[in-house]
Amino acid sequence: MKKLQMVDLKSQYQHIKEQINAGIQEVLDTTAYINGPQVHEFQKSLENYLGAKHVIPCANGTDALQIAMMGLGLKAGDEVITADFTFAATVEVVALLGITPVLVDVDEDNMNISIEAIKKAITPKTKAIVPVHLFGRAANMDAIMEIAKEHNLFVIEDNAQAIGANYTWKDGSKQKVGTIGHVGATSFFPSKNLGCYGDGGAIFTNDDALAHVIRGIVNHGMYERYHHDVVGVNSRLDSIQAVVLNAKLPHLDTYGQARRKAAKAYNDAFAANEHIVTPAFDFEGDDHVFHQYVMRITNGKRDALLTYLQENGIPCAIYYPIPLHVQKAYADARYNDADFAVTNKLCKEVIALPMHTELDDEQIAFITSTILNFVQ
């Protein structure tokens, strides 16, 4: 059996090695290390793929979120609502900009931001909602866009984990997640669904004026060379990373299918087990691209299972072990722990299994039988 890994980037690289090696060699030969033609090509290809009017590449997903908020003019005193159950980058940039983060609970079934909790958290100071399409599954954008419209709020989609996923609107039509809100932010960190070989990120928007503002912000607030109109940042995607992304983007949908196939095999194997709650999803659809396969162990033995799997050579992880509202950096007297019942519970029950594009049947059979051996 091939060695089990949470993410197998090396096997994936083997399939596209020649193209990537040749592309990187070209960058070395032409020395256009930053903002070379590869970056422009990637920007255009991603705009096409997403059906987004503007893609602005940047240095990483955290920057993408920060720049999106700067572009929208969010400032100290404003409140931004986001999920308690997510990676810290989302709330980190809010706090860094001096904006007040307002963490809210998530839903138990899809682990995404709770619509009821958003409604309760809105105040006259609320300026934006940041839904995170957690683990690769689209948040409830019908409801979120409706609330935003009603209260005149911006929607910034944290799409770091769900690039390629489609959201199915109530009327059945589909739209790529990340392109639904006023602005979307994504990450090309190596282990993300569309990962480069270093850091990378991008901002998406369909708003021409906002795209213009953001293009200046990523480049030191310059709209004309050496004229600094606004305070900006330095956030660029380099050409070598664009080579990798250009090679991988045409495979993104196939990668998503491979992930869904692995997820379905996990779901089928665990279907009859009363202590395992698996992520429900439509195998034929593409609303979930399984950045992570996260299931719940409801008999209180999650931590014991984690140890057992590690002893048996099966990598696994807890995303996320600690709710953001109790993290030292983000705890606040405004929060009442009872308002975060679902997040508190999920943090104790979730476990992520190996998930990547190269999992084979033998590996999945070994992982699932080992788990079923322990969870009875």
Q: How far apart (Å, rounded) are the C-alpha atoms in residues 27 and 31?
A: 6
Q: How far is CA 74 from the centre of its chain?
A: 22
Do you find a cis peptide bond into 266, omega within 30 degrees of 0? no
Shortest distance (Å) from residue 61 CB to ligand PLP: 3
Q: CB of 89: closest distance to ligand PLP in angstroms? A: 4
Q: Which residues pair with 351 in a beta bridge?
A: 295
Burial pattern 272-309, b for ≥16 Cβ within 10 A else e, equals: ebebbbbbebeeeebbbbbbbbbbbbbeeebeebbebb
Residues 290 to 349 in contact with ligand PLP, rule: CB under 6 A: none
Q: Which of 192, 248, 264, 348 is catalytic?
A: 192
Nearest to 242 by CA among 198, 286, 297: 198
From 12, 187, 205, 344, residue interacting with ligand PLP (rule: CB under 6 A)? 187
Which residue type occupies 95?
A
- CA-CA distance, 313 to 296, in Å (whole number)? 20
Residue 176: enclosing H or E segment and its boundaries? Answer: strand 174-176
Q: Which residues contact 37 (CB under 8 A, 6 or more apart)?
A: 239
Q: Which of 36, 71, 201, 354 binds ligand PLP (CB under 6 A)?
A: 201
Work out which of 61, 71, 216, 256 binds ligand PLP, going by CB under 6 A.
61
With respect to ligand PLP, which residue has the nearer C-beta, 222 or 233?
Answer: 233
> In the complex with ligand PLP, which residue's Cβ is closer, 189 or 308?
189
What is the nearest approach in angstroms of ligand PLP to the Cβ of residue 2? 26
Give the Cα separation of 338 and 174 in Å (integer): 36
Based on CB atoms, which residue is closest to ligand PLP, 61 or 232?
Answer: 61
Which member of 94, 111, 160, 240 binds ligand PLP (CB under 6 A)?
Answer: 160
Per the annotation, the verdict on 248 as an active-site residue is no
Candidates 43, 112, 126, 161; binder of ligand PLP (CB under 6 A) is 161
User: Which amino acid, one-letter code, is at 247?
Assistant: A
In this chain, which stretch among 57-65, 106-114, 137-145, 324-332 interacts with ligand PLP, using CB under 6 A? 57-65
Classify burial at 376, counting beta carbons within 10 Å of its beta carbon; exposed 0-12, middle 13-18, buried 19 or more: exposed
Q: Judged by CB under 6 A, does residue 241 bind ligand PLP? A: no
187 versus 239: smaller Cβ distance to ligand PLP: 187
Of 26-34, 154-162, 212-220, 266-274, the window that binds ligand PLP (rule: CB under 6 A) is 154-162
Residue nearest to ligand PLP (CB): 61
- Residues 68 to 127: which contact ligand PLP by CB under 6 A? 86-87, 89-90
CA end-to-end span of the chain:
25
Dist. CA 226–CA 229, nearest whole Å: 9
Q: Is 132 in the site for ligand PLP (CB under 6 A)?
A: yes
Determine if 156 is a binding residue for ligand PLP (CB under 6 A): no
For residues 96 and 90, what is the distance between their CA atoms, to the nearest angstrom? 11
Region binding ligand PLP by CB under 6 A among candidate stretches 109-117, 157-165, 214-222, 310-318? 157-165
Phi–psi pair at 288, nearest 5 degrees: -135, 120
For ligand PLP, the binding residue among 8, 107, 158, 238 (CB under 6 A) is: 158
* Residue 286 C-beta-side C-alpha neighbours within 13 Å: 17
Please identify, using beta-carbon distances, which residue of 104 and 375 lies nearer to ligand PLP.
Answer: 104
Q: How far is the CB of 90 from ligand PLP (least distance, A)?
A: 5
User: Can you give the binding site for ligand PLP, defined by CB under 6 A?
Assistant: 60-62, 86-87, 89-90, 132, 158, 160-161, 187, 189, 199, 201
Catalytic residues: 192
